[in-house]
Structure 1
Amino acid sequence: MSTSVRFDRGHTDDLMSFLTASPSPYHAVANAAGRLEKAGFRQVSETDAWDASAGGKYVLRGGAIIAWYVPENASAHTPFRIVGAHTDSPNLRVKPLPDSGSDGWRQVAVEVYGGTLLNTWLDRDLGLAGRLTLRDGSHRLVDVDRALLRVPQLAIHLDRSVHTEGLKLDKQRHMQPVWGLGEVREGDLIRFVADEAGVATDDITGWDLMVSPVEAPSYLGRDRELLAGPRMDNLLSVHAATAALAAVASSGGELTHIPVMAAFDHEENGSQSDTGADGPLLGTVLERCVLARGGTYEDRARALAGSVCLSSDTGHAVHPNYSERHDPTHHPRANGGPILKVNVNMRYATDGSGRAVFADACEKAGVPMQHFVSNNSMPCGTTIGPITAARHGISTVDIGVAILSMHSARELCGADDPYLLANALTAFLEG
């Protein structure tokens, strides 16, 4: 397939809507669940007994969602085909005592989450989003999607060495956004957020709030062949996996396995949480699926031994201004199709057998495939792939879409690549 082929941009248009509507992991899983509900999936509670009925089901926990589709002919030892992704992105998150400021400026105390490119948050219009925990234990999503906050950069007149010595940012002193003028009053921010969410301040007993850029995703370039937007690492994969699972569940085709989407939180800081890939959530869901159909430990072992997972996360497109930072023989390009990510030190979980699985899915989907490996002189990042493989004993393959500006407040990819990834994931889940 020629990479110059133009595609229907309906999928990418929908991705842009998904990114805009998902300023936090909690919004992302709610939006994914809503799309699955339209495809006939139903939510099951972790505290209820699960039945053996066929059809689409999903579990929500915090910023994580796991969804699966049980075909009519599934046995207790039917294996799983899993697409893994993560819902979180590097950003700035509100501290427990958020009201701060000095010299007549009112500020919000934030903590840096993940490996964010700090400079990309400077002089940018920022909103506020996340979830509120109410006194009765329920949660309320909130999204202040307008210019509310700003992290102002120091003027060049006060930092003459910035071009010769580089911009130096202290995470504590330099990254606190301003949101107004006047005296700092304790409780102001939460009173404001409560009003935005339509709840009483006294009903709020906890919060998980984060800063988000309010600039909408947009096509870029002379021919609009690029896509710029926030949180593509890794909501691009969450969106593609949701679309693929819904398509497979709605196709009516006969399946020899159970297709699964697992989108975790906290990948950007190590995945060690009850909603992260290094937690028990996926293993518990898969085991309960087996047991609900009358399975035994032996059935569980058989099912996992026959399972395979695609860990879908963004990777690095070759950078035209820094091409020497890339491996000289592996230069993934925008709109060149999804990438297979390889690292022999197991920062990625792909091996030769896994390559064959993904190559087969791309061939069936008519999608071009690229390869990514790091320059030997550059440290390699990692994903949920090795965690999934090691924790569950499931054959795992690391893949994704090649982007620029990874971990920036606004990232860049080829506008056709999200569509190509979704088609490859659909072919994989179809088996």
Structure 2
Amino acid sequence: MTVSTAIARLNAADPDFARHLDHLLSWESVSDDAVNQRVLDIIKAVRERGDAALVELTQRFDGVDAKSIDDLILGRERLELALTRISAAQREALETAANRVRSYHERQKQDSWQYTEADGTVLGQKVTPLDRAGLYVPGGKASYPSSVLMNAIPAKVAGVGEVVMVVPTPRGEINELVLAAACIAGVDRVFTVGGAQAVAALAYGTESVPQVDKIVGPGNIYVATAKRHVFGQVGIDMIAGPSEILVVCDGQTDPDWIAMDLFSQAEHDEDAQAILVSPDAAFLDRVAASIGKLLPTMERAEIIEKSINGRGALIQVRDMQQAIEVANRIAPEHLELSVADPQAWLPQIRHAGAIFMGRHTSEALGDYCAGPNHVLPTSGTARFSSPLGVYDFQKRSSIIFCSEQGASELGHTASVLARGESLTAHARSAEYRILNEKGN
């Protein structure tokens, strides 16, 4: 196999740096008209024909010989069987990761609260878990049992009543690790369907697939497009772009470590992005050499090569302060602070999905077993979005209880504001509760 690297080199001192950086970061998750129409047709078919459409579409797209919807349902006993079919080491790793993910997310759980004002008025917030959540899991060779843990466990910690998983099994190919992860995470039901048809089934329900309140989990362009179309009917987690890593390094970390950290995201797919920022030009040269040395040893070398050459970069900056400024400008999904004292720089980090502190904290640990969620905002959306968490599976309802005195006092304020908006019924509704007045 012949591989070559021509990773871009940028310098923040270049007058055109901002333009070059913008071009490097640009990525659009745009469905063309053909994909969009195909997804709309699939959603329509599932809404109109339910289970029959699911069976037909699964036969057509996944090559599965399913005679009825019963052939696409996996019971709890099948998940438990998967636990016996994986190796002892795999089971231990899944259970260790699940325990750590559960322990971390239990600290995110929010409780209801109330307070009482002097006049007896009670205000508060009621926190309620979703009734049912849908988890989309890619199937076949591109299977990620870690994603099952990261999506299902927060839902269970939140108290979601039922977690329904959909996972395609192309040509009948079942990934035992995925099913074992579902068993450990407490998934309640599994349907072996995928694509836009699975999203439609979760959003609208069929005779067999229950309608959910929110759909989470990654998928291809058809899944992402379907999630866009059903949003509003159900909640969704996000429309995720390609995976990203940004490493900020002071030049003192082993360059082989940094090269492999960049590879860890580049191997996901050709559109993934791996960027290194450092004030040490000689260090950037050493990392470039490590990339060239290590790339031929990788199983997914061709994918890494296309990712590194197409969207990767080594960026030289003036100093560590400018490195942090560039990091905030990029707002990466994964940010590694591979520096001597990462804690000192942490207060200045404003935009990042997950922050990996220090030379020994590889991003890969966060993907699998550190504890925090690996479902993170991509494509700069860390400027306004957060990692998936327990809070994504909980709703908040406001609580307002007015005492007689409180209703009277608030009624004066509401009346003035309502009449200022020419909403007379609002005003009179409030005025009826003002003591000694009838609002006529």
- Normalising by structure 1, we get a TM-score of 0.22
Question: Of Structure 1 and Structure 2, which has the larger fraction of its residues in strand?
Answer: 1
Larger Rg: 2
Question: Of Structure 1 and Structure 2, which has the larger fraction of its residues in helix?
Answer: 2
Higher relative contact order (CA 8 A, sep 6+): 1
- Normalising by structure 2, we get a TM-score of 0.21
